[in-house]
Amino acid sequence: PLNQGGLGGVLTSPSNEYLQLWRNTEIQVRETIDQKISAINKIIEPKVSWLLSQILPPATPIFIANSMPVRDVEFFWKPNNLEIKPFFNRGANGIDGTLSTALGVAHRNQSSIMLTGDLALLHDTNGFLIKNKFVGHLTIILINNNGGGIFEMLPVAKFDPPFEEFFATPQHINFAQLCATYGVEHEVIEDWEQFKQKLISLPNSGIRVLEVQTDRRSDAKWRQDNLSKIAKGS
């Protein structure tokens, strides 16, 4: 049966009313996300995805690593018409070949982005050995929270030991030294303005790592404290 009142006087079915309810909720939630994240000045992981969605050149390919990066993109990426092209690996072994896959996406393609945590990058650092045959550009946005950030979101995080050693597995890597080993450009991001300036336009060739150093415990707490509130539009 049709609802004669409808939306703006248009005849609607119950299914269309339900769809409109979801659309209105999405708009409200997105507005809440924008208000909360735009006000954050300190470096925090969710703001990386939120900013990326707005500042990358149109149609930029972006490879998104497993764990929290792909979830933060799902939660905080701001919908728009920039036509950014996402790529990712999923499945039980989705972490395998993360860097190599991103380099494959970028090879002979438009200048590309890789968004990754430290463990996913460390799992495939020898992918950098393709550097001398690589044609194109890849910027690696490295969220370095010294461990597996996703596990901070689980109940097991309350039990340490064994949490830190066996779940978070921090590696304490100096990524500037690691990048120097492979002859890859490296820079630490100190603030959001620097982050934006490095990504509004991208180089045409080479590989570079932009390291964003974060605190996985405080970022996990921010998500836990705010996600339910955001879902309620508060």
Condensed to tens digits (0 to 9), the pLDDT of residues 112-125 reads 999 999 999 999 99
CATH of range 43-231; options 1.10.630.10, 3.40.50.970, 1.10.3720.10, 3.10.20.30? 3.40.50.970
pLDDT at 234: 61
25-31 average pLDDT score: 90
Phi, psi of 3, rounded to the nearest 5 degrees: -90, 115
> At 91, is the pLDDT very low, low, confident or very high (cuts 50, 70, 90)?
low
Which one-letter amino acid corresponds to residue 39? A
Q: Residue 50, Cα to own-chain centre: how many angstroms? A: 8
For tokens 């149109």, what's the residue? 58
Write out the DSSP string of 69-137: HHHHHHHHPPP-SS--EEE---STTTTTTHHHHHHHHHTTSS-EEEEEEHHHHHTTGGGGGGGGG--SE
Find residue 117's DSSP bridge partners.
Answer: 143
Q: Is residue 94 scored above 80 in pLDDT?
A: no
Per-residue pLDDT at 6 exceeds 60: no
